[in-house]
């Protein structure tokens, strides 16, 4: 009898302890994107489970298809009802539509319990300035991408360059000389001097490729000069005119092909596969994995289609990078346990969690060779498994890492990035929140303006419109389309951004 009683008391105590233990593990609900791989579900991902366990919480995931994420989440945000504790937003909320409703907690009021996030913001003043709302509060935690590596760059057919006995050009003049040689000589050695296409570039990449030599960031559209004065690149009366004149010259000489406006990446790949073209401009990533890989003699040791420094003209060349903030997460201001949700998000921004998103775990996803991490073979052989761990989690504030990208690429490509790409990257025009008045001006004028600019650019380059006769009226039309009002808005935003960086 006595023993039975002791046992039952023990059992009851154990049950009570278990009950207490589970009651002490708080739950945080998170609405976010599922994996971009349709065969992968991140609701029970090993690395994300580790992060939750380390943070001392259980995460209740509400994961939606990333391809329709905005469609599924926007109505929930519009109603503002029954939102989970943490929400991955469908966009960057640049018009402050969501944060102005009060549905998201101002996180700066909780920075005393966010040591990881405050450390991150101190180390990244540009991101801090981007995330600072017009009222001075910070509402969101970002997911970020690499900005200064593996961006769009010049790429040359190195066997052709070597055949000419030249170095990759760094000026517009040397570049044009090289294109003429590509056009006129039998570069691919098939006995036909007429099948070479000197340059194959998608029309959308031409501004990236040639704008900087004229001092223009046509990619962002707006840019600030050294004095902090904002310009609209396609309204610059001299520099933009010179840019168009240069491209029109290429077109007239057959160096920019007749069909350039409709050229796509598949066609460019096909040309490299047949060794028919000498130059392209694209995301760096493609030079080894896509373009060089088209050549049967590519051995992975030496590049065939290889990156080079930007072209300089009247201005020193540069490459336009991109903004770091890719996605944002907010904390529901009506969350039952606000402190736990905020602390979890802060843990998810810390170094321990970031290391798990980027590398996974030693023995599981990587090993250390000569003191450096290398992914294990299974990480590339079994993509569903690898993605299913929660690597580079699309549903968390993960920060994309350059070292973890390097190990996926050929060594020559990594060296090429460090030597010819990274040193020339210039930050694009910053992403800044708009006031209601500013977003009204932007939505009223910007799309029409850009459409007109794009249409005229093709006309001037192809010579349907004469630069000599019609460029001045083009500038006048931009003014009648309120380009100056847009510039004033962008100037105010740039000034706020500069002030928020302090």
Q: Which residues contribute to the site for Ca ion (CB under 5 A)?
A: 186, 188, 190, 192, 195
CA 76-113-22 angle, 5° bins: 70
Distance CA 342, CA 210 (A): 45
328: closest CA among 150, 490, 147, 138? 138
Q: Could you tell me the smallest distance in angstroms from the CB atom of residue 183 to Ca ion?
A: 11
Q: Could you tell me the smallest distance in angstroms from the CB atom of residue 292 to Ca ion?
A: 20
- Residue found by looking up tokens 């904002």 in the block: 230
209: closest CA among 367, 383, 424, 14? 424
Q: Could you tell me the smallest distance in angstroms from the CB atom of residue 290 to Ca ion?
A: 23
Nearer to Ca ion, 183 or 490 (CB): 183
Q: Which residues contact 180 (CB under 8 A, 6 or more apart)?
A: 198, 253, 255
CA 401-402-406 angle, 5° bins: 125
- Residue found by looking up tokens 């990078």 in the block: 321
Dihedral over Cα of 225, 231, 237, 240: its sign: positive
Nearer to Ca ion, 148 or 157 (CB): 157
Q: Could you tell me the smallest distance in angstroms from the CB atom of residue 186 to Ca ion?
A: 4
Q: Could you tell me the smallest distance in angstroms from the CB atom of residue 277 to Ca ion?
A: 11
| Contact in structure between 58 and 27 (CB atoms under 8 Å) | yes
CB atoms within 10 A of CB 249: 13
Nearer to Ca ion, 187 or 233 (CB): 187
Nearer to Ca ion, 81 or 194 (CB): 194
Pinpoint the alpha helices (H) of 132-205. 158-164, 172-184
Nearer to Ca ion, 197 or 348 (CB): 197
Distance CA 458, CA 477 (A): 16
Nearer to Ca ion, 188 or 280 (CB): 188
Q: Could you tell me the smallest distance in angstroms from the CB atom of residue 275 to Ca ion?
A: 8
Q: Could you tell me the smallest distance in angstroms from the CB atom of residue 439 to Ca ion?
A: 53
Nearer to Ca ion, 160 or 243 (CB): 160
């Amino acid at each position: 009898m006595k023993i039975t009683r002791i046992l039952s008391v023990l059992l009851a105590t154990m049950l009570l302890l278990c009950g207490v233990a589970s009651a002490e593990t708080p739950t945080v609900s998170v609405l976010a994107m599922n994996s971009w791989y349709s065969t992968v579900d991140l609701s029970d991902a090993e690395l994300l489970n580790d992060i939750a366990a380390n943070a001392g919480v259980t995460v209740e995931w509400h994961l939606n298809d990333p391809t329709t994420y905005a469609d599924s989440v926007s109505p929930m945000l519009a109603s503002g009802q029954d939102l989970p504790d943490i929400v991955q937003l469908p966009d960057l909320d640049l018009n402050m539509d969501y944060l102005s409703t009060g549905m998201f907690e101002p996180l700066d009021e909780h920075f005393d319990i966010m040591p990881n996030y405050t450390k991150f913001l101190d180390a990244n003043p540009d991101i801090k300035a981007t995330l600072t709302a017009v009222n001075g509060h910070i509402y969101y935690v970002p997911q970020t991408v690499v900005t200064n590596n593996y961006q769009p760059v010049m790429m040359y057919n190195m066997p052709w360059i070597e055949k000419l006995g030249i170095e990759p050009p760094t000026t517009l003049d040397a570049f044009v000389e090289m294109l003429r040689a590509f056009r006129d000589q039998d570069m691919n050695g098939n006995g036909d001097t007429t099948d070479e296409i000197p340059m194959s570039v998608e029309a959308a990449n031409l501004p990236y490729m040639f704008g900087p030599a004229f001092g223009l960031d046509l990619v962002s559209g707006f840019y600030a000069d050294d004095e902090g004065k904002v310009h609209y690149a396609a309204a610059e009366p001299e520099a933009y005119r010179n840019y168009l004149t240069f491209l029109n010259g290429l077109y007239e000489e057959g160096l920019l092909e007749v069909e350039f406006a409709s050229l796509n990446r598949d066609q460019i790949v096909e040309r490299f596969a047949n060794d028919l073209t000498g130059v392209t401009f694209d995301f760096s990533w493609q030079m080894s994995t896509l373009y060089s890989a088209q050549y049967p003699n590519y051995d992975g040791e030496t590049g065939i289609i290889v990156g080079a420094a930007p072209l300089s003209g009247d201005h020193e060349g540069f490459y336009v990078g991109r903004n770091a903030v890719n996605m944002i997460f907010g904390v529901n201001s009506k969350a039952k346990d606000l402190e736990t949700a905020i602390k979890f998000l802060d843990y998810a921004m810390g170094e321990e969690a970031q290391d798990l998103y980027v590398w996974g775990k030693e023995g599981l996803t990587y090993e250390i060779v000569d003191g450096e991490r290398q992914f294990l073979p299974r990480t590339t052989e079994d993509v569903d498994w690898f993605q299913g761990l929660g690597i580079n989690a699309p549903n968390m504030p993960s920060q994309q890492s350059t070292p973890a990208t390097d190990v996926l690429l050929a060594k020559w490509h990594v060296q090429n990035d460090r030597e010819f790409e990274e040193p020339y990257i210039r930050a694009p025009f910053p992403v800044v929140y708009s006031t209601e008045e500013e977003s009204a001006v932007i939505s009223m004028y910007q799309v029409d303006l850009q459409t007109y600019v794009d249409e005229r650019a093709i006309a001037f380059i192809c010579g349907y419109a004469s630069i000599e006769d019609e460029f001045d009226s083009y500038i006048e039309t931009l003014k009648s389309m309120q380009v100056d009002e847009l510039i004033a808005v962008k100037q105010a935003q740039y000034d706020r951004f500069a002030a928020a960086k302090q």
